[in-house]
Structure 1
Amino acid sequence: MRVTGNLGRNLRVAALASAALFAGSAHAQSTVITADKMVDVLTGKMIDNPAIFVGADGRITSIADARTVKWGSDVTHINLSGKTLLPGLIDMHVHLDGPADIGGYRGLEFTDSFWGMTAVKAAQDMLRAGFTTVRNVGSTNRNDIGLKQAIENGYATGPRIVPAGYALGATGGHCDSTFLPPSLEKTDKEEGIADSEDELRYQVRRQRKYGAEVIKVCATGGVFSRNTEPGQQQLSERELRVIADEAHQWGLRVAAHAHGGDGIKAAIKAGIDTIEHASLVDDEGIKLAVARARPVWFSMDIYNTDYTQAEGAKNGVLEDNLRKDREVAQIQRDNFRKAHDAGVKMVFGSDAGVMPHGLVGGQFKVMVQYGMTPIEAIQAATRNAAQALGREKDVGAIAVGRFADIIAVDGDPLADVRELESVDAVIKGGKAVN
C-alpha cells in the first residue's frame, strides 16, 4: 500500500537516513528485522516492507522501507518474509503464580514454594503466546517480583513484568484469605490486609519498598473468593482515595478489582487508574469513567468464563464460585459493549491464571464479538495498555526509542483478529524467542 501523510514522510526520511548510516557504519546497529507488512498501532495503518533496526540495547533506532536500505554483514538479520509484524502484546491483568487447573481446596495439596515454581512456566507460556509485557496484579510471597528479577538477570525466560507484590484489601474481603477456619489462620493479618486509612497507606509504602511497580486493591467482593459476592463494596471511597493519593505520590499507578457498581464508582471518584473486571458497572459508572479528567481505563476479562465453566468443576473450583461466575459472565460481556460504545478507555486484561496462560489470545475474538474492531482490540493490548502503564517510551508500539518487542503472524490481523491466537514468532528486545 502507499503510505501518505506524516507517517509516509517519516518513513522516507528514515529510509534516507538509514541508507546513509549503513553505507559507512553498519556497526552502529546490531539487528534488522524485516517482514512483508507491519501494523502501526499508533495510526491503525498497515505498512509494507518494514525494516526495523535495533541497537545493542534492544531498542528500535530507525524504521525504513526494506526495499531502499542495505545493511552490513555484521548486522543480524531476522527475516520474517511472508509475515505481518505487530508490537509485542500487553496483558494488564495476570496472575503468573496461579495455575488454572488447581482450584478450590486442591491448593492445600502443595507446599508454599510450589506456586512460585509454577510461575516460571506460566511466564514462558505467555511470552510464547506473544505477550512480551504483563502486569501481575497480586501474588503470594511476592512471586511476581522474584520472577521479574530472575528474568531480568537471565535465570528464567518470560515477558517484562510489572509486579504488584501483595494485593491490598479489607479483612474478610476478596484479597484476604477466606477459605480456612480461624484455628488454621495466622494470628496477625495477612500481608496487604488493612482496616484503616493509616494501615492502607502503610501497605502502599510497604509494597513499593519491596519491589511493587503497581498497587492492586480489592474494592469489591469477587467470584473466586469465599464468603464474598462480586457486588459487595469492601472499601470506602475515602479509603480508596488514600490508596490512590499515596501511590501517585510515589509515582505508582493503582489497579482496583471492582465487579460491583458502587465499588466501581467509588474507585473512579477516588482516582484509581484502572478498573479491573468492571462486570456490574452501571450507566452512572460509565459516565464517570468517560468524563474523568485523569484517564481511567477498564480492564475487562470477558473470555475466561468459557474455560472456567467447562473445566472448573474438574479442577476443584467450588460450586459457589462457579455459580458467581455464571451469574456475572454475560452481564460483564454486555457491559463491555456498552462501555466501549460510550467511549470508555479500555485495555486488554485476561485474568490469566483463572484460565491457562497460553490461551489468553483467544480473548481478542470475544472483544471483537462484543463491539470492538480488530484494530481497537489490538490497540487495547498495545498502545492503550502502554498508556495506562505510563510506559509509552518503552513498549506498546513498533516505534523509534521503544524496545524491539515484536510478534509476527501469517495473515492479516486487521481482517481476522484470530490470527493472534497462534503467534508465529516472538522477538523481545530485538532477540528472537525460541
Structure 2
Amino acid sequence: MHPTMRPLVLALALLPLAAAAVEPVALHCERLFDARSGKLLDARTVVVREGRIADVLPGRAAVAGARTVDLAGHTCTPGWIDMHVHLGDQSSPDSYEEEFRLDPIDFAFRSVGFAEKTLMAGFTTVRDLGGEIAPHLRDAIDQGLLKGPRIYAAGKSIATTGGHADPTNGYNTTLSHLIGPPGPTQGVINSPQEARQAVRQRYKEGSDLIKITATGGVLSYAKSADAPQFTVEEVRAIVETARDYGYRVAAHAHGTEGMKRAVLGGVTTIEHGTYMSDEVMTLMKQKGTWYVPTIYAGRFVAAKAAEPGYFPEIVRPKAQRVGAQIQQTFARAYKAGVRIAFGTDMGVGPHGDNAREFLYMVEAGMPPAEALRAATVHAAEALGVDDIGAIEPGKRADVVAVPGDPLQDIGVVLKVGFVMKDGVIYRQP
C-alpha cells in the first residue's frame, strides 16, 4: 500500500456499514420490470439467497425461512448501471484551482460521500472513466469498508500531448519545465509504441478497462473540444493491447473525425458523441460500437456556462456550444438504431442526481422502457458482464424499487425507495 493511502484506509475502516445479508430475503414487488422484454409484469416475489437471486415467483409468495420485505406500490427493476461517472471529483467554480491546492487524499475522502450518494440513488454498478482514486475506492467498497456501487475503474485516462487528459494542461511554463513532459506512465502518448506502454501501465495499476480521450474536451483548459487527438494506428494499438488483458476501451469523443478514428480503431464505446455524423452512426452500427450519450453533463455545462465565473473563459464557449448539442445527437442516434447504454458523466454535475438522465432520454424520444433497458441489460452487455442487468435466477441480487409505474411516469426514478446490492439492503421504504 502506498504510504499516502494508509490514513484513508484507517479512517474508512471506522465507517458504519450495512450488515452483510445472512438470511434469505423475499421481496414482494407490486410490479416487476422485465429488462429482457422491456415489459412490466404484475406482482412478483424475488427470492434472494447468499447475494444472488434464487427465484422469481408469481404473486406475493410465502418463502419458508425468508425475511419478507413488502414493496407494495413499488416497481422493482434491476439495479441501475451508470456507464460514465467520475467519483473522485465534482465540478464547482473552484475546481481548477483545487488541483493545485488539494492533495489526492482530500479528493479520496470526498469520493466516499459521492459513492454512497450514487448507490442510494439506485445505481448499484458504475464505470468510472478516468481518475486515479477510483481503483482504490473500488477496492475499499469490495472489502466492505464503505458503502458504494460496484465500480469498474479505468484509472488514468490515456491522452496525447495537450489532449483532454494531459494532466499538465493549463500549467505555466515554469511549472511545466519543473515537472517535465508527461509520458505513457502518466497516460500521455504520441505513438503506437507509447500507446501500448500506457495500456500496460494501467494494467499494472489495477484498472478494469481503458479510457482514451479521442478528441478535445469541454472542461479541459484548452481551446478545442472536438479536434481529433489520436491517429487510427494509435487507437488500434491501444485496443489490441487492451484485448491482451481482457480490457474494453471507452473513447471520449466530441468531434466527428476523432469519433471515426476511434470506431475504426475498434473501441467498445463512444462517450458523449456530440457531433456524431450519419457516417459515424453507420460505422458504429457496422462495428457494433455502443454509444454512451451523457445528456445530463451536456445540459449541466450549458447551464453553468451562463453563470459568470463558474468556468474559466477558455472553457465557457465550449460548454455553451457542446452542451446544447448532445441531447439532439442522442435523439438522432436513437432513431438511427445505434446501440445505446446509459451514462451521465456524473462528477460534472452533482453525484446522486444520476437518474435525471432517464428523464432527458425520454424527453428526447426514447420510450421509458428502452431508457431503463439502457441502464440494465444493455449497459451490462456493453460492460461485458453477464451477472448483472436483469432480475433472473443466478444473477447478483441488485434490485431497485420506485413508487408507481416508471413506464407511465419516468419521473418516479427520482424517488428511489429501495436499494439492494449483492443481497444487502441499503435503503428501503
Q: TM-score, normalised by structure 1?
A: 0.88
1:37 CA drift (Å): 0.6
Could you tell me how far apart the structure 2 residues matched to 1:395 and 1:425 are?
Answer: 17
Residues 1:247 and 1:173: Cα distance change in structure 2 (over 3 Å): same
The answer to whether the aligner puts 1:369 opposite 2:363 as a matched pair is: yes
Q: 1:86 aligns with which of 74, 77, 92?
A: 77
The answer to whether the aligner puts 1:277 opposite 2:277 as a matched pair is: no
Matched ranges for 1:17-36 at <5 A: 30-36=24-30
Matched ranges for 1:46-61 at <5 A: 46-56=40-50, 58-61=51-54
Q: 1:166 aligns with which of 149, 152, 156?
A: 156
Q: Counterpart of 2:348 in 1: which secondary structure?
A: coil
Structure 2 counterpart of 1:118: 110
Alignment RMSD, CA only? 1.7
Structure 2 counterpart of 1:9: none
The answer to whether the aligner puts 1:401 opposite 2:394 as a matched pair is: yes
Preserved CA contact (<8 Å) 1:105 1:316 = no
Q: 2:292 aligns with which of 274, 296, 299?
A: 299
Amino acid at match of 1:198: Q
Q: 1:249 aligns with which of 244, 255, 259?
A: 244
Q: 1:379 aligns with which of 367, 373, 378?
A: 373
The answer to whether the aligner puts 1:262 opposite 2:257 as a matched pair is: yes
Q: Counterpart of 2:352 in 1: which secondary structure?
A: helix
The answer to whether the aligner puts 1:345 opposite 2:339 as a matched pair is: yes
* Identity rate, percent: 36
Q: 1:331 aligns with which of 325, 329, 351?
A: 325
Could you tell me how far apart the structure 2 residues matched to 1:119 and 1:84 are?
Answer: 30
Structure 2 counterpart of 1:237: 232
Preserved CA contact (<8 Å) 1:104 1:316 = no
Unpaired runs of 5+ residues, structure 1, are 1-27
Amino acid at match of 2:392: A
Q: 1:132 aligns with which of 102, 120, 124?
A: 124
User: Residue by residue, what CA displacement relative to the aligned partner does 1:399-424 show, whole Å, maximum 9, x if unpaired?
Assistant: 11111111111111011111112211
Could you tell me how far apart the structure 2 residues matched to 1:424 and 1:320 are?
Answer: 42
Structure 1 counterpart of 2:384: 390
User: Which deviates the most, 188-197 or 402-411?
Assistant: 188-197
Q: Counterpart of 2:111 in 1: which secondary structure?
A: helix
Could you tell me how far apart the structure 2 residues matched to 1:325 and 1:400 are?
Answer: 45
Q: Counterpart of 2:188 in 1: which secondary structure?
A: coil
Structure 1 counterpart of 2:91: 100
The answer to whether the aligner puts 1:215 opposite 2:206 as a matched pair is: no
Structure 1 counterpart of 2:33: 39
Preserved CA contact (<8 Å) 2:291 2:339 = yes
Q: 2:187 aligns with which of 192, 195, 199?
A: 192
Amino acid at match of 2:120: R
> After the TM superposition, which segments of 4 or more aligned residues of structure 1 sit over 6 Å from their partners?
none
1:249 CA drift (Å): 2.2
Preserved CA contact (<8 Å) 1:92 1:136 = yes
Amino acid at match of 2:67: T
1:230 CA drift (Å): 1.7
Could you tell me how far apart the structure 1 residues matched to 2:420 and 2:104 are?
Answer: 33
Could you tell me how far apart the structure 2 residues matched to 1:201 and 1:245 are?
Answer: 8
Could you tell me how far apart the structure 2 residues matched to 1:322 and 1:395 are?
Answer: 39
1:110 CA drift (Å): 2.0
Amino acid at match of 2:333: A
1:314 CA drift (Å): 6.7
Could you tell me how far apart the structure 1 residues matched to 2:367 and 2:226 are?
Answer: 30
Could you tell me how far apart the structure 2 residues matched to 1:91 and 1:112 are?
Answer: 24
Could you tell me how far apart the structure 1 residues matched to 2:404 and 2:62 are?
Answer: 27
Could you tell me how far apart the structure 2 residues matched to 1:37 and 1:375 are?
Answer: 14
Amino acid at match of 2:104: D
Preserved CA contact (<8 Å) 1:259 1:277 = yes
Preserved CA contact (<8 Å) 1:103 1:315 = no
Could you tell me how far apart the structure 2 residues matched to 1:303 and 1:155 are?
Answer: 30
Preserved CA contact (<8 Å) 1:303 1:350 = yes
Preserved CA contact (<8 Å) 1:103 1:316 = no
Q: TM-score, normalised by structure 2?
A: 0.89
Could you tell me how far apart the structure 2 residues matched to 1:183 and 1:195 are?
Answer: 23
Structure 1 counterpart of 2:66: 75
Q: Counterpart of 2:357 in 1: which secondary structure?
A: helix
Q: 2:145 aligns with which of 136, 152, 155?
A: 155
Could you tell me how far apart the structure 2 residues matched to 1:90 and 1:51 are?
Answer: 23
Could you tell me how far apart the structure 1 residues matched to 2:309 and 2:172 are?
Answer: 22
Could you tell me how far apart the structure 2 residues matched to 1:306 and 1:174 are?
Answer: 20
Residues 1:243 and 1:263: Cα distance change in structure 2 (over 3 Å): same
Structure 1 counterpart of 2:222: 227
